[in-house]
Amino acid sequence: MKLSSLFFFVVFSFLSSSIFAQTDTISKKKFHWGKAQSDTSAGYAQAILVDNVLYISGTVSRGTTMAEQLKGVYTGIERTLQSYGLSFQNVVKENLYTTDIEGVKQNNEVRKAFYKGDFPAASWVQISRLFMPSALVEVEVIAHLPKKQ
């Protein structure tokens, strides 16, 4: 093999591997609170849009009572949805983690008001604790956007 051929082979290999590497990466549109792209301390983004699917992280809130935290959690999810031009109508799946499932059941009206009668598929479980020791409830959702024609 001539040196010139070798040169082109190396360049070609480099270019094609870059191209293949590129084709595997995806386009993501992140949302996080404030100006950040993500929380680099804990290491997560509040939400990621890929294709027409929006994944929203487990969302918590301040407040001492369950009613306060539920209101804060769903308000946070609503703000996240709105940043993509969406509403709770777009939410298809909800996972709720709480340290007090009876407390959630007793304050469910606070949560239900956000859905306006159009409820998602959901799973609720009572777990031992959440990321922040003071958090009583954490909710993650999946929302879909209309597909582009």
Residues near 6 by beta carbon (within 8 Å), at least 6 away in sequence: none
Check residue 125 for interaction with a second copy (CB under 8 A): yes
Residue 56 binds to a second copy (criterion: CB under 8 A): yes
Give the C-alpha separation, 115 to 107, whole Å.
14
Q: How far is the CB of 7 from a second copy (least distance, A)?
A: 27
CA distance 145 to 85: 9
Q: Which residue, 63 or 99, has its beta carbon nearer to a second copy?
A: 99
Question: Could you say which residues in the range 81-110 bind a second copy, by CB under 8 A?
Answer: 85-87, 89-90, 92-95, 97, 99, 101, 105, 108
Three-state SS string over 54-115 comes to EEEEEECCCCCCHHHHHHHHHHHHHHHHHHCCCCHHHEEEEEEEECCHHHHHHCHHHHHHHH
| Phi, psi torsion values for 36, nearest 5 degrees | -75, 150
Stretch of 1-9, 11-19, 47-55, 66-74 lying at the interface with a second copy (CB under 8 A): 47-55
120 binds a second copy (CB under 8 A): yes
- Told to check if 34 binds a second copy by CB under 8 A, we report no
Number of residues that bind a second copy (CB under 8 A): 63
40 binds a second copy (CB under 8 A): yes
- Do 87 and 81 contact (CB within 8 A), yes or no? yes
Element containing residue 50 per DSSP (H, E)? strand 47-50
- Is residue 77 near a second copy by the rule CB under 8 A? no
Q: Kindly list the residues in this chain that would bind a second copy in the complex (CB under 8 A).
A: 20, 23-28, 38-40, 42-48, 50-53, 55-58, 85-87, 89-90, 92-95, 97, 99, 101, 105, 108, 111-112, 115, 117, 119-131, 138, 140, 142, 144-147
